Each structure stands twice: as C-alpha cells, then as structure tokens.
Structure 1
C-alpha cells in the first residue's frame, strides 16, 4: 500500500506578510479651495508648485508598458521582488491602459536599477520603461528612454563616475555605469546608461580637449540601445520615415492633390 506524501508547506512569517503589504502614500497637504467655473466648465486649478509637491511621492516611479500582453500583477510583483535586486519592494498597480503598470519606487538607487536594466522583459514578455512625471500620457509614449552608451578607446583615467557624468550631460541624464567600467576590468572602453531624448539626433563623437589638437582625444560614441521614435504615432520603436501611418497619410494627400488638379482641368475645359 502506497503511502501518500504530503507536499512541503511554506510557512510565511509575520515579517514576510508585512513586507508584502503596500505602504500608504505619504500625504501631501494642499490648501482647500472652491471649484471654479471657466467658460461654463467646472474646474479645479492648481499652481505649478502645488502640482510638483503632490508628485513628490512619485518622483522615482516608473511605468512598464508591456508589448504583447500584460502579465498578472502577482507575477510582476514576484519577478520584481526576486530578480530586480531592489533595496525595498515597490508598490505595483495596474493603470487605466491595460498594458501599463505603475511601479512606485521609493528611492533613487532603486529607480536607477529599474531604468538601467539591460534585459527589458518579465517572464519573456517584453516591456518598455518610462519615468513617470505629472505630464505622463498613457496613450503617447515619452521621448525619453534609457540608453546604454559605449565609449570605445576611452582612456581609463576617465572611467571615474564624475567624468562620465560630464560626458553624459551632453546627451541626457546620467544613470549609471556597468560593473566592468566601475572595476576597469574592460579597459577597451567605458559603458554608461543615460536617460536620453530619442526624438533628437545626437552627436556620434566628441573631443576631450580642444578639437584637432595634438594632445586632444577624439572620442567615438556608440549608442547600443537607442530606439527610434515616430513623431506621427508618438511611440518608440520606429521612425517617421518608416511609419506606415505616415506613408498612408502621404498617399492620401497625394491622391487629394491629383484629384484637385483633375477637377481644375475639368473646370477649365467647361468654360
């Protein structure tokens, strides 16, 4: 007679339960005010300083926009907890658009870790990551994206974080370097990650020292993960020159112009 073996039971401690419970958002006090009627419409008006203060608890928040389908929140929370290596567990919640998830991080170190991850997927489902701001629009992707930059041939005495921040300042906001750069274990070049405006063109080189001088150094810049941006669709992933919508609009415009010319010719013949 076979003896049934019971499955091992994982006992959750009080500390585990408390650590998984989301903490309330820090309260920001805004002075009371009455509603206004402007052009017959009911509205509430806040000044820029008040908006910035109310956004303070979210200054390190990021949005994960999943490309195929959004995983369950439990899977996302578990993956972040076990794989991201954060200092503290963030609050993760679904946004209005089904593919978007807001991750409320609480410190700058965790924000940098999340933004600069080189593998942008959870359980093999890819996502794009955006820094949340008060002007964030769920239906228009931000022009800002984390980009890994390689500086081939950079002299190793410029591998210091302070000097790399100077170089990154011309391209965007510095986030971090990789471990090989920090340890100078790959002196063939330095890698750093920065938050860049991907809708703009960026220089592929710079000079360290006055240009074209004997003792100056010509530095090549390689953008390893620079995504294209379409100003028509307002999304990352393709450019305006390869945009299907742009080509369709151009085709319609060309057809309208041809039709207008044909109508004009018929009108002139009928005179």
Structure 2
C-alpha cells in the first residue's frame, strides 16, 4: 500500500508523477537558513515539505537539504535564482546550484515509477504484438 497526495484526476491504475525527493542547495547564505525563506526559494522546483536535521539545526555549513515534492513529468532545474526579480540587465542576486538525491525514473508510456519509456516492457510487448500482427496478414 502506498499513501499518496489526493488529486481530482486520481486514477488507481496510474502511478502519480508527483514524488518527494531530497534536494541540496549549494552556497546558501547562513542567514537564509530559515524555513519561511527556504520554502519560498524552492517554489520554482516544487513544494517544500521539510528540512533535514542538519539544515534545521544549522550544522552543515552552507548547504541546505530539503525534502521537496516535485513532478517527474517536468524538467528538473539545476539552479535556483536567489535575489530580486531578474530585470533586463539587473544582477541583484546570484544562481545557486541544486542537486537532487534519489529521484525515481518515470515511464510516460505505462505511467509507472521505476523505469524510463525506452526500458518499458509494456511498450515493448505492444510493439512486438503489432509487429507480429502485421507480419501475419
């Protein structure tokens, strides 16, 4: 059994593409190690769930580790903008590198976690059946 977040378009035969993963934010300034700030910073990545113990107690230095709910169907960001709104020519801020830990793969064909579409057995079986069906005619 798996407990997942409810959505209006829930289908029991389709595994959700929304998963919690750990992200590390590199070079985050010390004074921003506050939950209200960190959860806002990661909004472009996903919904912040919780910091790890070292981030919460500020014992790791300048790397924050947060559990974030992401959508596997969307491209992953490798950086987060820290600063004011980016206006043309404005550089009031900097890009912070982020790293993902334990992101599962997701098949867009059978809608299951654990493999990519190019490794999908269901897709391969269907293609094999189609190939056999056209050869027999």
1:145 alignment partner, one of 7, 15, 19: 19
Q: Distance in 1 between matches of 2:8 and 2:91?
A: 48
1:180 match: secondary structure: helix
Corresponding residue for residue 117 of structure 2 = 240
Larger Rg: 1
Corresponding residue for residue 78 of structure 1 = none
Whether the 8 Å contact between 2:25 and 2:63 is mirrored in structure 1 is yes
Whether the 8 Å contact between 2:42 and 2:80 is mirrored in structure 1 is no
- Give the total of aligned pairs: 134
Structure 1 residues 214 and 167, CA, compared in 2 at 3 Å: closer, same or farther? closer
1:224 alignment partner, one of 63, 76, 101: 101
Higher relative contact order (CA 8 A, sep 6+): 2
Corresponding residue for residue 190 of structure 1 = 64
Corresponding residue for residue 36 of structure 1 = none
TM-score by length of 1: 0.43
Whether the 8 Å contact between 1:199 and 1:230 is mirrored in structure 2 is no
TM-score by length of 2: 0.79
1:169 alignment partner, one of 29, 37, 43: 43
**Which runs of no fewer than 5 residues in structure 2 stay unpaired?**
none
**Which runs of no fewer than 5 residues in structure 1 stay unpaired?**
1-63, 66-128, 264-271
1:169 match: secondary structure: helix
2:127 alignment partner, one of 250, 253, 261: 250
